[in-house]
Structure 1
Amino acid sequence: MTGEMNILPLPPTTPAASRPLVVSGELLKLQTPMEGLIAAGQSASAEVLSLKQNDQTFQLLLKVTLDSGRQTTVQATSNQPLPQGTSLTVSQPSAGSLAITVQQAIASNIATLTRLDTSQLPVGTLLQGKVLTTQLMPQTPGQPAVYRSLVSLLNTALSGSTLSIDSPQPLRIGSLLSALVQGSQSLSFVPLASRQEQLAITQQLLAQQSRQGSLSGLIDALQNLPASDTTSDDLRAAVDKLLADLPDAQQLSTPKGLAQALANSGLFLETKLLAGQNPALTPDMKGNLLRLIAQLAPGLPANTSFNAVIAANTLAQALPSFVRSALGTLGQVSAKPQPSSFPLTSRLLQSLEGEGDLEHLLRLAAAAVSRLQSHQLSSLEQTGMTEDGKLQTTWQLEIPMRNLQDIVPLQVKFQREDTPEKEQQEKPAEREPKQRLWRVELAFDMEPLGPLQIQAQLAQGKLSSQLWAERPYTASLIESNLSGLRAQLLASGLNVGDLNCHLGTPPQGNQTRLEQRWVDETA
């Protein structure tokens, strides 16, 4: 969910601490019948320890305190949600039920909140919570549906409190929510990605980067794979397919060829699988790597201690569920982690002593899968709301490109920045038509030019670009050809802004990143 959804304000009510909850005489059905729990004609105090919704009923865990002081816990079901911390006075009409004779929310205990104290939680405060229950309220003909939910708050001074909210759509039970306080009886949801998922993504990314290895190391080993009796026909076919699917520079110079190479880079494999596509029908770098691993595994010695197969398969299976799930915990609110550096550094794995050719090849293939997943996680890490309220989407990937006899890994990062629709509609008479801002970064090392990095930005038809070369000869060569590049870009219909070449590498860090100056230029 990337947009905002306003929760309907609750109707005015008296404070929960001063009003009895009108469920006197409500029966709680005991899940395990208990004969003589409470003596006839007597009552006991109870407290709700936990609440869980099951279809249209609610499961409660109660702590019952008898007159003698003895305490016991019982499980019961109810037709009404009783929030955690609610104090009750109960009696027992039969072995399988309890009756609520008095239910009064006590101020010292945690009661259901139906309004927020904005002096305690000012407008703009971020609340985080877990959905306990969701019920469809009785509908008035001609009026939209209203769902009432109980949400357990997990942060701020109200941590542990239960908040009752009304919303125009049901909230998934057990889901974790973040919302901004808009008033005493109004909230607006914000995406979890900017807080909770970012922490989990960063942890996963650190683990992936420690296992990753450059694609060039694997491809060099595949090109030099010796023909032997241990190389099966299926393994050779998997190697040939992986190498044959690598694009060349001519293919990447056409829009159609570039789009195909991006789609087959491995970045979208999980998306294809979730959509029900057969990965064997279209080339895919990550899919080819996983097929290669599957063919390498049977050829390993039976007594090998090498576990790259297990690691690679675990990674391949874990990523799709990770993308779909909200991982991590909603603890203290922390700042958004800094994006990982681009490009990924080269990392070549050396052959270990006593390691066979297939074991080394398998280790290289597992490291290559981790490298592709590092790019995928970096894309997720840099996707979300920016500090100035823009929606930023990032695609980071790596394409091994054929250049004559060499294989050149081309690292690419696309970023799209959108203004939320809400801002577009605030003052339509004063706003221009919606514009998207695009940023593109490229990094590659091609002989004889050496390492090159390119950053470009396109906004409102205006292109700005900065190039960095680590070799003085290459920087001088590019500088002398910038006027010709500018002329070609102008001929393509673009309005060209900054177009410069620098010796060295791009500056890193928030205070020195050049694209911040580009944003100011085109604002």
Structure 2
Amino acid sequence: MTVEMNTPPLPQTLPATARPLTVSGELIKLLTPMEGLITAGQTATAEVLSLKQADQTFQLLLKVTLDSGRQTTVQATSDQPVAQGTRMVVTQPSASNLAVTVQQAIASSVATLTRIDTAQLPVGTLLQGKVLTSQALPQVPGQPAVFRSMVSLLNTVLSGTTLSIESPQPLRIGTLLSAQVQDTQTLKFVPLSSRQEQLAVTHQLVDQQSRQGSLDGLLKLLQDLPDSDQTSVELRSAASRLLAGLPDVQQLSTAKGLAQALLNSGTFLETKLLAGQNPTLAPDLKADLLKLIAQLTPALQPNTNLSAIIAANTLVQAMPNFVRNALGMLGQVSAKPPPTSFPLPERLLQNAEGEDDLEHLLRLAAAAVSRLQSHQLSSLEQTGVTADGRLVSTWQLEIPMRNLQDIVPLQVKFQREEAPEKESQQERREEREPKQQLWRVDLAFDMEPLGPLLVQAQLIKGSLSSQLWAERPYTASLIESNLSALRERLLASGLNVGDLDCHLGTPPQGPQTRLEQRWVDENA
């Protein structure tokens, strides 16, 4: 596994055990003795509703169904793990115990998998799971130690089922695994250092997006911030600093100015902090928003209804720790929601009933931080190693830019895709060509009088192609008439120019994310 999870290093291959769990005749101890739960000589069906490991024992919540049809739930402990969903036939030899009389009595409902069906999960499929249990098996003299774990699968068509695996080292309970299917009995771990755990990030992204709000609503209020007793000198200074750090259109039209705007967008605040840099030495959108929140908070009454909002956004002050900790929070993760759309839609927050101006301003500032964080988490969600070995890196961010008296949020997404390494020994002996990279750039903004615009561009081997989308007919016609001039300027800059097209409307939203699409060489 990885250093981030503090688990011991594991080998590259991990065999999935083919031996089913054997608990026939074993006693399951009831935490609360129940005399006469099952009449002597009778049997009952027990279904495992939940499983939790405590040291070397396993706590079970069982639903017991008697022959009469009456059902009851009981808590019990077992020396061996039994997967959630497993159904067994049990008897009651004493008030404190249940005895399993038939292992896997109803085979069709047993949730534990002891082998991989490659018809459902073809070789190369990426599995993600959470470790439920870890148990040392009796050691054979002269043989290395073997540990058995039960892993709850979190993706694919088998999401929710449990896989029984064996490994030469114990797996920490509650941690996450990413592994590729090698064959019916073998998995290959994908190191976390090369792939962020997408399910955990997506779970947190849903929470962030429910709190986020558009940046322009806050910035317009700050432009008209009144000079009153409610607004302290420090608060007005924090607002002025934030507004002064916003770039204008002229700055973004130069390479140096654009690079500086990207660096100051707030996306890299945590990177600066980890590197020991002082974020106060240069403008940074997220840092300036946090300073604004810090000045707004003392001005409000302690019993303000915004305390929950403030608490919810304090995690942005320790984003690196949050990202690491998120990897251990999959207990609440269910099926993965649809991929994040780009651009993030506009979301304006209205004044709540009984809310004063400062409370509303604080709520807008907290929502703006959540919006920036939504972009950061979207970047993590779309970054990783695909099942066929391609490495995709994504940087998604938002830059509020000045356009005369208006402030226009510019949403940007950069995506770099690298072809998988070729493993042939003959090719390794030969002199390798530089690795080819496919770059994608998406821009989205709404500027008057042009209206909403979205630009998609791809660059590979010095060849550029682009699609533009305009929602207003006048704008689409204007862009179409200037495509020839754009092509000439791109050629003059040294690029090979492929397709340049402008469309009326919005891009079609397909069912797949960019991360899931195939590697495409437009020169092939």
TM-score band by shorter chain is 0.5 to 0.7
Residues 117 and 132 of structure 1: CA distance in aligned 2, closer, same or farther (over 3 Å)? closer
Aligned position for 1:207: 210
Amino acid at match of 2:509: G
Aligned position for 1:108: 106
Residues 295 and 173 of structure 1: CA distance in aligned 2, closer, same or farther (over 3 Å)? same
1:75-224 superposed matches below 5 A: 75-76=76-77, 78=79, 80-81=80-81, 85=87, 105-108=103-106, 115-116=114-115, 118=117, 123=122, 130-136=130-136, 146-151=146-151, 163-167=163-167, 170-175=170-175, 182-188=182-188, 196=199, 200=203, 203-204=206-207, 207-208=210-211, 212-215=213-216, 217-224=217-224
Residues 324-374 of structure 1: CA deviation (Å, up to 9, x unaligned): 43375445xx7x7254132x4556667789975434533543443343244
Q: CA RMSD in A?
A: 5.7
Residues 58 and 275 of structure 1: CA distance in aligned 2, closer, same or farther (over 3 Å)? farther
Residues 350 and 195 of structure 1: CA distance in aligned 2, closer, same or farther (over 3 Å)? closer
Q: Does 1:480 align with 2:485?
A: yes
1:296-307 superposed matches below 5 A: 296-300=296-300, 307=305
Distance 1:433 1:195 in 2: 29
Amino acid at match of 2:106: S
Secondary structure of the residue that 1:425 maps to in structure 2?
Answer: coil
Shift in Å, 1:115: 3.8
Distance 2:78 2:518 in 1: 61
Distance 1:143 1:165 in 2: 18
- For the 8 Å contact 1:122–1:181, the answer to whether it is kept is yes
Amino acid at match of 1:213: S
Secondary structure of the residue that 2:330 maps to in structure 1?
Answer: coil
Shift in Å, 1:303: 9.2
Residues 198 and 70 of structure 1: CA distance in aligned 2, closer, same or farther (over 3 Å)? closer
1:316-355 superposed matches below 5 A: 316-317=314-315, 320=322, 323-324=326-327, 325-326=329-330, 329-330=333-334, 337-342=338-343, 344-345=344-345
Shift in Å, 1:295: 2.0
Shift in Å, 1:419: 3.3
Gaps of 5+ in 2: 3-9
- For the 8 Å contact 1:411–1:444, the answer to whether it is kept is yes
Aligned position for 1:437: 438
Distance 1:70 1:115 in 2: 30
Secondary structure of the residue that 2:262 maps to in structure 1?
Answer: helix
Shift in Å, 1:235: 0.7
Aligned position for 2:458: 457
Distance 1:123 1:444 in 2: 41
Shift in Å, 1:232: 0.8
Distance 2:358 2:28 in 1: 65
Residues 254-304 of structure 1: CA deviation (Å, up to 9, x unaligned): 666544432332234456678887765664312322321332244457997
Distance 2:518 2:180 in 1: 31
Distance 2:200 2:226 in 1: 45
Distance 2:409 2:490 in 1: 24
Aligned position for 2:358: 358
Shift in Å, 1:165: 1.0
Distance 1:477 1:282 in 2: 38
Aligned position for 2:5: none
Aligned position for 1:287: 287
Amino acid at match of 2:497: G
Q: Does 1:392 align with 2:392?
A: yes
Amino acid at match of 2:221: A
Secondary structure of the residue that 1:417 maps to in structure 2?
Answer: strand
Residues 395-443 of structure 1: CA deviation (Å, up to 9, x unaligned): 211112346665443321111223345xx32686399653221111223
Larger radius of gyration: 1
Residues 206-245 of structure 1: CA deviation (Å, up to 9, x unaligned): 634xx52242x43333233232232212212211221233
Distance 2:296 2:498 in 1: 50
Residues 225 and 52 of structure 1: CA distance in aligned 2, closer, same or farther (over 3 Å)? closer
Secondary structure of the residue that 2:231 maps to in structure 1?
Answer: coil
Shift in Å, 1:521: 1.8
Residues 347 and 82 of structure 1: CA distance in aligned 2, closer, same or farther (over 3 Å)? closer
Shift in Å, 1:9: 2.8
Aligned position for 2:312: 314
Residues 164 and 277 of structure 1: CA distance in aligned 2, closer, same or farther (over 3 Å)? farther
Residues 379 and 130 of structure 1: CA distance in aligned 2, closer, same or farther (over 3 Å)? closer
- For the 8 Å contact 1:309–1:362, the answer to whether it is kept is no
441-450 or 225-234: bigger deviation: 441-450
Secondary structure of the residue that 1:295 maps to in structure 2?
Answer: helix
Aligned residues: 491
- For the 8 Å contact 1:7–1:166, the answer to whether it is kept is no
TM normalised by structure 1 equals: 0.68
Residues 188-222 of structure 1: CA deviation (Å, up to 9, x unaligned): 568998985587467447634xx52242x433332
- For the 8 Å contact 1:30–1:77, the answer to whether it is kept is no
Q: Does 1:419 align with 2:408?
A: no
Amino acid at match of 1:337: P
- For the 8 Å contact 1:182–1:188, the answer to whether it is kept is yes
Residues 281 and 477 of structure 1: CA distance in aligned 2, closer, same or farther (over 3 Å)? same
Secondary structure of the residue that 1:507 maps to in structure 2?
Answer: coil
Distance 2:28 2:339 in 1: 51
TM normalised by structure 2 equals: 0.68
456-465 or 382-391: bigger deviation: 382-391
Distance 2:196 2:120 in 1: 23
Secondary structure of the residue that 1:337 maps to in structure 2?
Answer: coil
Residues 226 and 409 of structure 1: CA distance in aligned 2, closer, same or farther (over 3 Å)? same
